[in-house]
Amino acid sequence: MGQSMRDIKRSIKAKEDIRKTTKALKLVSAAKLRRAQEQAQAARPYAEKLRDVIINIAQSTTNANHPMLVSRPIKKTGYLIITSDRGQAGGYNSNLLRMLVSALSKRHQSKDEYVIFVIGRKGRDFLRKRNYPVINEVTGLSDSPTFADVKEIAEQAVRFYAEEKFDELYLLYNEFVNPVVQRPTEKRLLPLAGDDLAGSSQTGKTVYEYEPSQEEVLSTLLPSYAEALIYSALLDGKASEHAARMNAMSNATDNATEMIESLKLQFNRARQAAITQEIAEIVGGAAALE
């Protein structure tokens, strides 16, 4: 009985150490989440202003036939997926990767029909282990990434579309809804057609003058806009990652607390049983001496 009680005490101590760690990680993730939200919000006005200018040009000229605005027959597809470098974030990566695998199986008959760009070690390892056609990757990003960190892969993805190495580009990331909800999202990034550039509240309210011409300005702004969307999705994904990790650590802390309470109850019962047995032995011994 004594050995059993010692085992329970060791288990309680181990769970308390785990609870201290998960609680600390929760607080760290909460602080990082606040910074990530601020960074994501700060990046949105730039992309929105680019979008307004592009809409203005597209609606004011009859020669807005840039390849990024025109759909073409789909022979090959590109995917850019944004995952995390570290785990301990619940279903943050697994849900997104499951969405990608499902989309690939539905749309394509073979791996020759698509290529994948991946941001994040978790996604890279998952896809390479299963021999998916990953043509570029970025890992080791900080918790507050800059555009320079993903500039190369964003430019390559947009350039490959312009060079017709594939005919559409999808962006997959976790959309930050609120600290509790992070939604795996797939968006068609290229071509920018249909509703992609519709419905700007600023269209028609601002008059722009373009040098040297509207078409040349458009050809410069469209790649920049697509790259800005990738960076914005990365910041959204970072906020989602910190929120998911905060929630996962919160759940782990709660679970550890429940286990500690259960073990303490088990320990108290074992101690009570041991005391009862000792009293019974003393009474029995006293009775035998009479």
| pLDDT value at residue 281 | 74
51 & 108 share domain: yes
Confidence of residue 203 (pLDDT cuts 50, 70, 90): very low
Does 145 map to a domain? yes
Does 271 map to a domain? yes
Does 207 map to a domain? yes
CATH number for position 13 = 1.10.287.80
CA-to-CA distance for 258 and 254, rounded, in angstroms? 6
| pLDDT value at residue 114 | 96
- Could you give the C-alpha distances from 255 to 43, 269, 270, in angstroms and in order? 37, 21, 22
CB of 145 within 8 A of CB of 238? yes
227 & 127 share domain: yes
145 & 79 share domain: yes
pTM of this structure: 0.82
Tell me what the mean pLDDT of segment 231-254 comes to: 93
Q: Which of 15-29, 58-72, 189-203 has the lowest mean pLDDT?
A: 189-203
Residues 97-139 pLDDT 10s: 999 999 999 999 999 999 999 999 999 999 999 999 999 999 9
Confidence of residue 1 (pLDDT cuts 50, 70, 90): very low
State the total domains in the chain. 2
CATH number for position 63 = 3.40.1380.10
191 & 282 share domain: no
55 & 160 share domain: yes
241 & 253 share domain: no
pLDDT at 153 over 90: yes
Residues 52-88 pLDDT 10s: 777 777 666 655 567 777 788 999 999 999 999 998 8
Q: Which of 32-46, 69-83, 84-98, 136-150 has the lowest mean pLDDT?
A: 32-46
Written as one letter, the residue type at 137 is E
58 & 13 share domain: no
138 & 215 share domain: yes
Confidence of residue 165 (pLDDT cuts 50, 70, 90): very high
Does 187 map to a domain? yes
**Average per-residue pLDDT for the chain:** 86
Does 120 map to a domain? yes
Domain of residue 93, residue span: 43-245
Sort strands 168-176 and 182-190 into parallel, antiparallel or unpaired: antiparallel
Q: Which of 174-178, 182-186, 189-193, 222-226 has the lowest mean pLDDT?
A: 189-193
Q: Which of 39-53, 106-120, 222-236, 255-269 has the lowest mean pLDDT?
A: 39-53
Q: What residues contact residue 23 under an 8 Å CB cut-off, 6+ apart? A: 249, 253
100 & 224 share domain: yes
101 & 222 share domain: yes
Quote the percentage of the chain above a pLDDT of 90: 52
Sheet holding 168-176, edge to edge: 134-138, 114-119, 77-82, 168-176, 182-190
Tell me what the mean pLDDT of segment 27-46 comes to: 88
Structure tokens at 79: 């995917």
Does 69 map to a domain? yes
155 & 266 share domain: no
Does 34 map to a domain? no
CA-to-CA distance for 31 and 243, rounded, in angstroms? 10
pLDDT at 263 over 80: yes
Q: What residues contact residue 95 under an 8 Å CB cut-off, 6+ apart? A: 174, 184
157 & 253 share domain: no
